Structure 1
């Protein structure tokens, strides 16, 4: 897989062999079976940061506001009225869940930019949010992985999975793969809406910049665009 410098964000596609990569140079590239197939649009991140949307089809620029783009064309799809203090987003069709630097989570209806619900989630701020079915998972600077039920906007379950500070995670088929400042990658299954005991999969030698996964691979981005690919079948 050819690299084009430091990787800012990665996201698996609907097809498990598809990978979308956003490079620090501003370019989005699509890979199938780790072979480059498409050079997509370029989105500047000078005044913010980049986060892929669901299945890599769209991408969010997070700065003083949130702007959603279509990856293939770069066309703007949506822009939020919420400003400042935005840490992360998760898009779920017409609903977008916004994690704030002050620890609050806001649920927004994209059709009218109406704030449906807002609540305190993590002391010290939200790091990332991802969802499945009627639930979503959030992680925060309090080092907690927290599961929520969107039907009641209530907390379901908490779990601490790392000794070091949790930095990011990927949710795939009711499986949480997370990593921390200690460079460890941990797997936590969700069974009957409860998070089971975590299992350490491996540790890396270098700092983890970003990662993504599917049922077979965990793909870890490290410094200078180097990729570490962990195969569950080996």
Structure 2
């Protein structure tokens, strides 16, 4: 069984999200009753969008990494701990004993909750199942029991669906995208805290009347409130810090 799961994981890793996600979307759409032509078009659109997102993120990452390294060199900043980001965490999670099982477990949890109508979210974000695997692997590390780790991963998968359902209406309203939800464990769990903080803010005179969003910022600051101009200013500041030798060396 482990060999089969390892093979499936290897297939996903080899083809990557850009290929596998459209395939998964196509299969799910057809199973749910969509016409093959429409399902294929939707799958291809998602694949193209994924490529575009990766291009933008890759460009941003490469550029900011170079600037960050220059800032460290020129300012003499030294830190003992390095944030390696989610790719390393995902690799650790999927490489753990729980990582081999997390995809089928998360899918089974999702299907069961859909059938029992305890959720309305279909989580196709397979690559971010590493969140569940990471939680499960921590439990295994603490207890030495794989079963407990798998249960923890299953609970995490269920919680992601719960948070997605809870925030679905707000997400759809804000982004003007009907029929979507976000079962993402690096964003959804902050919702309870955000609700409490928002409740407090709404009861503070003066503070509750402040309305800050992209429209009000642009209206107040004119051209300097435009996202493109703000990005330019931030880029110039980072560039000056990074490439102007402040140490005088």
- Give the TM-score category using the shorter length: under 0.3
Greater relative contact order (Cα < 8 A, sep 6+): 2
Give the number of the structure whose residues are more often helix, by fraction: 2
Q: TM-score, normalised by structure 1?
A: 0.27
Larger Rg: 2
